[in-house]
Amino acid sequence: MHEAIENEKGVEQMCREMEEIRHEGVEEGRLAEKKDTAKSLSNAGMPVEKIAQILKVDVQAVREWLLKD
């Protein structure tokens, strides 16, 4: 890896890869937050369809999230 960052091209590639990893982590965090919110709203008695509308996701995705708990 050290050799990869000894030149400008290697540094640019490393930066792109790190940015992609960061982006994936952010997306995973957003999805986890939506799942937690869906579970909380469901526990409060909100219908699955309304949860999906609020979270701007597919109804089937919300159903799957709630079944995994």
CA distance 31 to 60: 15
Residue 39 domain boundaries: 2-67
Q: Write the pLDDT tens digit of every residue in 18-47.
A: 999 999 999 999 999 999 999 999 999 999
CA distance 6 to 14: 11
* CATH at residue 25: 1.10.10
Domain count, the chain: 1
Q: Residue 3: pLDDT above 90?
A: no
Q: What is the mean pLDDT of residues 7-26?
A: 89
pLDDT given for residue 10 in this prediction: 83
pLDDT given for residue 20 in this prediction: 93
pTM score above 0.75: no
